[in-house]
Amino acid sequence: MQSSPQPIPYQGSKRQQVPVILRYLPKDTATLWEPFVGSGALTIGAAASQAAEAHVVGDSLAPLVEIWELILRAPDELCDRYERLWNAQLADPRAYYDRVRDAYNDSPEPAKLLYLIARCVKNAVRF
């Protein structure tokens, strides 16, 4: 099984372990439940290999779940929000990152979280 790309570069991704994990999934799996979705590696890999008929994901980090909801239901909206953040940081990326982090802590929006994940070292956001 070839690795499937994930739209979120999330620390702790199970992307490389997906083929091994899927070998232990029963062949007649109707619904795959992934309670700690993160990068979505397991669900994306299972969907790509048709290892389950349906998929249910969740995570305790609400803005991360909101990123996934936007990816599925309004990807253009997420792209537009992210693009605005990305373009705004070009003049001074470090200072802008700090401002977005502070703003995220006050108002945790999904696009801000995606920006922070993509820009921080080794995808390890420090709030």
- Asked if residue 68 is part of any domain, the answer here is no
Judge if 91 and 46 occupy the same domain: no
Q: Cβ contacts of residue 48 below 8 Å, gap of 6+? A: 1, 4
pTM: 0.85
- Asked if residue 56 is part of any domain, the answer here is yes
Which pLDDT tens digit goes with each residue over 27-80? 999 999 999 998 999 999 999 999 999 999 999 999 999 999 999 999 999 999
- Asked if residue 66 is part of any domain, the answer here is no
Range 62-71 burial, b when 16+ CB lie within 10 A, else e = ebbebbbebb
Question: Domain holding 17: CATH number?
Answer: 3.40.50.150
- Asked if residue 67 is part of any domain, the answer here is no
Boundaries of domain holding 28: 1-60
| Number of domains into which the chain is organized | 2
Strand partners, 57: 34
Judge if 56 and 89 occupy the same domain: no
